[in-house]
Amino acid sequence: MDLSARQCDNCHTSLQGDFCHQCGQEKKSYIRNVSGVVTEFFGEFSNWDTRVWRTLVPLWFRPGFLSRRYVQGHRVPYVPPLRLYLFTSIIAFLLFAQLMPESVGTVNIPKDNAQLAADGITAEQAESISGLLSGINEGVKKQGPTDNDLMFLSDDDKDIFYTKLDAITANPKLAINKFFSLAPQMMFGLLPLFALLLKLLYIRSERYYTEHLIVALHSHSFILQFSVLYLALQALAAVSWPWLVPPIEWLATATLIWIPTYLLLCQKFYYQQSWGKTLLKFWLTSSLYNILFMSAIVGLIILSILWS
């Protein structure tokens, strides 16, 4: 018997199974023919697909369940939180990019906030962004931002900003495309800040920061997915038969209502505090996060103009 067959290829420790108990490496060769690689790919894909459905159903309808299961050690049956968020973000923003209009004459405000909803934004945030974009639209038509609005930019950057602002006035689509291409990075950057807010508000719970980050990842994955659902329903209502429009619009409204309701229930069921404390901390979390979110939006709009 070939002894090397039962030794770890990395540290040469004698194996008791398929994995080395010393370094953790699997006894498996990744150098094989194409047919073997293809077979393994579809096998892994099928297994991952099963985990997806086990993950999505509780993610949509059982607030806080996945986060509790993960921190309790039940991880194998579900898609890991970070992978779930990254996969969701990629799909959501690809769909959003496909649904953007081909030509834009002015800075259009999304009808019923449908487009903003696809960006993982709640109804309240979408209203704020709509107002912000309206203000920018009016400012562009008049004279643009004043120097006081751009105090954090150097004189050279201000000149560049005003030059590009003139070009964007003629074709706002340039800045809008750049804005939504940068939005995923912005959302990903806000995740640890959201988790930090939860850590500060629930500091007496003695939970690790990572436990709050798990909640943030699951919450943002849910927001993105239901925002895409809302956008899809709005698009479906625009092309459906007249008799089908009312129930679709009702379902779209229910989707928007479920997003903040879900987030509230998630905090309640995950942290297991009284309704009074949960409502207060949910209000604080939402308020502080909205301030961070809108500040990031303003910065992203300026970067979109500078980089377009």
pLDDT digits (tens, 9 = 90+) for 249-290: 999 999 999 999 999 999 999 999 999 999 999 999 999 999
Which residues face 26 on adjacent strands? 19
Please tell me whether residues 95 and 25 are part of one structural domain.
no
- The rounded mean pLDDT for the chain is 76
CB 227 within 8 A of CB 118: yes
Query: One-letter amino acid identity for 175?
Result: A
If one counts the domains in the chain, the total is 2
Question: Closest Cα partner for 28 from 42, 44, 17?
Answer: 17
Please tell me whether residues 22 and 115 are part of one structural domain.
no
pLDDT of residue 209: 94
Please tell me whether residues 19 and 130 are part of one structural domain.
no
Please tell me whether residues 27 and 102 are part of one structural domain.
no
Query: Does a structural domain hold residue 58?
Result: no
Query: Does a structural domain hold residue 227?
Result: yes
pLDDT of residue 171: 63
Query: Does a structural domain hold residue 64?
Result: no
Please tell me whether residues 250 and 134 are part of one structural domain.
yes
Query: Does a structural domain hold residue 40?
Result: no
Please tell me the distance from the alpha carbon of residue 278 to that of residue 128, in angstroms, as a whole number.
24
Residue 185 vs residue 277, higher pLDDT: 277
Please tell me the distance from the alpha carbon of residue 44 to that of residue 5, in angstroms, as a whole number.
24
Please tell me whether residues 25 and 91 are part of one structural domain.
no
The pTM of the whole model exceeds 0.85: no
Please tell me whether residues 2 and 102 are part of one structural domain.
no
If you average pLDDT over residues 116-143, what whole number do you get?
49
Please tell me whether residues 15 and 154 are part of one structural domain.
no
pLDDT of residue 241: 84
Q: What is the DSSP string of 36-67?
A: HHHHHHHHHHHHHHHHHHHHHHHHHHSTTHHH
pLDDT of residue 128: 52
Please tell me whether residues 190 and 123 are part of one structural domain.
yes
Please tell me whether residues 117 and 265 are part of one structural domain.
yes
Query: Does a structural domain hold residue 53?
Result: no
How many CB atoms sit inside 10 A of residue 155's CB?
9
If you average pLDDT over residues 226-232, what whole number do you get?
88
How many CB atoms sit inside 10 A of residue 287's CB?
10
Torsion of CA 200, 202, 206, 211, to 10 degrees: -90
Please tell me whether residues 142 and 243 are part of one structural domain.
yes
The percentage of residues in the chain with a pLDDT greater than 90, rounded to a whole number, is: 33
Please tell me the distance from the alpha carbon of residue 226 to that of residue 92, in angstroms, as a whole number.
10
**Domain range for 19:** 1-31
Query: Does a structural domain hold residue 56?
Result: no
Q: How far is CA 105 from CA 85, 111, 167, 176, 242, in A?
A: 34, 15, 12, 11, 29
Please tell me the distance from the alpha carbon of residue 301 to that of residue 291, in angstroms, as a whole number.
15
Ramachandran angles phi, psi of 14, nearest 5°: -65, 135
Please tell me whether residues 24 and 102 are part of one structural domain.
no
Structure tokens at 278: 């949960």
